[in-house]
Amino acid sequence: MKLASNAVRVRCKEGCGDFGLQELEYVCVDCDTRKHLHKIDDAPIPQPMPEAKAPRRSGKDAWKALLSVEREKDKAVVDGQVHAFEETLTLARETQTKMKHYMLATNNDEQVDKAVWTQGQPKL
C-alpha cells in the first residue's frame, strides 16, 4: 500500500514502535487488536447447565433389548457377524505376530525379505 506524499507517519501511541493509523487515532493495528481482545477476554464466561445423567441400564436389560430387535432374532445373521468378527480378530493376531517376528529379524541384523513377511497381508 502506497502512502500519499503528504501523509504524516506517526509512531503508535501505545509505544510499540510501529506506525499508527490515523483512522485508529494513531494506534497501530496490533495494539488496537490487542486492546479489543482484552475487552472480549474480560467478559464473564457463562457456566454450563448441569446435566442430569440418564440412569444406566443393566447389562441384562441391554441384552434383552438387543435380542428384541428383529435382525438379531435371525440366528444366521448373528452367526455370520460372529464369524466375521472371529476372522477379523484372527487376522489381526496373525498380523501382529508377523510384525513381531519381522521386527526381531531386523533387530538381529538378519537378511529380511519384506515380500515374504508381508505376504498375505491386507492392502491398506
**Cell numbers given for 17:** 514502535
This prediction has a pTM of 0.38
* Confidence band of 68 (pLDDT split at 50, 70, 90): confident
Joined together, the cell numbers standing for residue 34 give: 490487542
- Give the whole-angstrom CA distance, residue 55 versus residue 65: 16
Predicted pLDDT at 26: 83
pLDDT, position 42: 62
Specify the 3-state DSSP secondary structure of 10: coil
pLDDT of 83 reads: 93
pLDDT confidence tier of residue 54, bands split at 50, 70 and 90: confident
**20, burial (CB in 10 Å: exposed 0-12, middle 13-18, buried 19+):** buried
So what's the pLDDT on residue 21? 83
Q: Where are the domains of the chain?
A: 9-42, 73-124
Q: Are 26 and 10 in contact (CB under 8 A)?
A: yes
Give the count of beta carbons closer than 10 Å to the beta carbon of residue 27. Answer: 20
Q: Which three cell numbers stand for residue 44?
A: 464473564
Mean pLDDT on 5-22: 78
Mind listing the pLDDT tens digit for each residue in 73-100? 788 888 888 899 999 999 999 888 888 8
SS3 49: coil
| pLDDT of 41 higher than 70 | no
Question: If pLDDT is split at 50, 70 and 90, which confidence band does 123 have?
Answer: low
